[in-house]
Amino acid sequence: MKLHEFQAKEMLGRFGVPVPSGRVATSPAEARAAAEALGGRVVVKAQIHAGGRGKGGGVKLCDDPPAAEAAAGAMLGKPLVTHQTGPEGRVVQRVLVEEARSIERELYLGLLVDREARQVVLMASSEGGVEIEQVAAERPEAILKEWIDPVVGFMPYQANRLADGLGLDKAQTGALRKLGVKLYEAFLGCDASLVEINPLVVSEGGLLALDAKVNLDDNGLFRHGELAELRDRAEEDPRESRANDLDLSYVGLEGGIGCMVNGAGLAMATMDLVKLEGAEPANFLDVGGGITAERVAEAFRIILDDPRVEAILVNIFGGIVRCDVIAEGIVQATHDRGVEVPLVARLDGTNVDEGRRILDESALDITYAEDFADSASKVVAAIGGAR
């Protein structure tokens, strides 16, 4: 789950991370009032779940409250396009109005889980404010890394080493020692998967988190009722919101072949085969084992309701989940509405005969495939071949 910048800063602030003072506004008048309360010179920042806002016109330095009002008016209710949003952009529902700070240097700090090392790694770079992915690709040596031992936490010597690499003075080094500890506490404390401060700025001698990006680990959300409430459905893919509510392993994609598969490995392989045949999947969906016909029906309705979907591929290898349960779910999902797009199914494994019988007795027009290479080529043929 992604947090907005203002939510991330509020959370980090509670852990003692220094952040600028600011207020959220949903109208130009509110932005003006916020600027007045903050002392006049402010930065108005569009709150969307995407970065690159600076370059896209979503971060405006304003000298006085009327300028803040105008900047908010130019952003609110309109789509903001950045390199991370795609061409259609994201509609800005809120802006964050913050006191403007003078910037001496822009640095980068990021914490994430290094799965290979099985530790949290703190990354730092003196090339802050720019796209860190680009720095990582072009000049990997410009990114410093410290792996944090879970037993002892972020150690002062690690901060010293980073500060040395970043060229910080003595006072700033002291600030980084404290900041590293607090960021790590925040990372663990909210079960984050990513905490990124880009830029971390040197301002009036101290360190300050000028931007903040926090992603939470969905698997840890049940421990954080107050954080779960920060979820912004308006920013989510509606297909994924729905799947999320149903606890399904679903990822929305941009292609036209809706896929219903059991098992993550088979689901990945199915998507690969669809691509190999020259088409694109509309989704990843692993219905998993131990699923009921009702939940299969819910999953199938998400695919049916997706306007991108031009054809559906059902690829089930019955094991823990039985083919008859899948067939019943498909019939339930379609009994009152039918299926308007071609439907290709490959069923094998447990109770395959019973599953076939249920589908054959339904009114559904199904093209059967024998194995899954065949199922991919049939479904792609059904949409008129490779694109």
Q: Please count the helices (runs of H) and the strands (runs of E) in the chain.
A: 14, 18
- Do residues 371 and 330 make contact, with C-beta atoms less than 8 angstroms apart? no
295 to 324: interface string for ligand GDP, x by CB under 6 A: ------------------------------
Q: DSSP assignment of 255-296, as one string?
A: SSEEEEESSHHHHHHHHHHHHHTT--BSEEEE--SS--HHHH
d(CA 287, CA 284): 10
> Residue 247 and residue 261: Cα distance in Å, rounded?
15
Tell me whether residue 99 is one of the annotated catalytic residues: no
Contact between 110 and ligand GDP by CB under 6 A: the answer reads: no
Largest CA distance in the chain: 78
Helices 28-38 + 65-75 axis angle, to 10: 150
Q: Give, as one character, the DSSP assignment of residue 186.
A: H
In the list Mn ion, ligand GDP, none, the entry touching 100 (Cβ below 5 to 8 angstroms by class) is ligand GDP
CB of 6 to ligand GDP, least distance (A): 11
198 binds Mn ion (CB under 5 A): yes
Count of residues engaged in binding Mn ion, rule: CB under 5 A: 2
368 included as an active-site residue: no
19 contacts ligand GDP (rule: CB under 6 A): no
Q: What string marks each residue from 175 to 214 as x (binds ligand GDP by CB under 6 A) or -?
A: -----------------------xx----------xx---
Report if residue 153 touches ligand GDP, rule: CB under 6 A.
no
The one segment of 95-103, 138-146, 219-227, 334-342 that binds ligand GDP by CB under 6 A: 95-103
CA dihedral 290, 292, 293, 294 (to 10 degrees): -150
The residue within the footprint of ligand GDP, chosen from 103, 136, 155, 251 (CB under 6 A), is 103
Annotated catalytic residue, options 106, 108, 146, 277: 108
Q: Provide CB contacts within 8 A for 26, sequence distance 6+.
A: 76, 93, 94, 95
Read off the tokens for 268. Answer: 């990945």
Q: Which of 69, 127, 146, 211 binds Mn ion (CB under 5 A)?
A: 211
Comparing every residue's Cβ against ligand GDP, the nearest one is 54
* String marking each residue 116-135 x if it binds ligand GDP according to CB under 6 A: -------------x------
125 lies in the binding site for Mn ion (CB under 5 A): no
Whether omega before 199 lies within 30 degrees of 0, making that bond cis, reads yes
Token representation of residue 155 = 């150690």
- Selection from ligand GDP, Mn ion, none that 275 binds (CB < 5 to 8 A by kind) is none
Judged by the rule CB under 6 A, the positions of this chain that interact with ligand GDP are 43, 45, 51-54, 59, 61, 100-101, 103, 106, 129, 198-199, 210-211
Judged by the rule CB under 5 A, the positions of this chain that interact with Mn ion are 198, 211
Q: Write out the catalytic residue numbers.
A: 108, 196
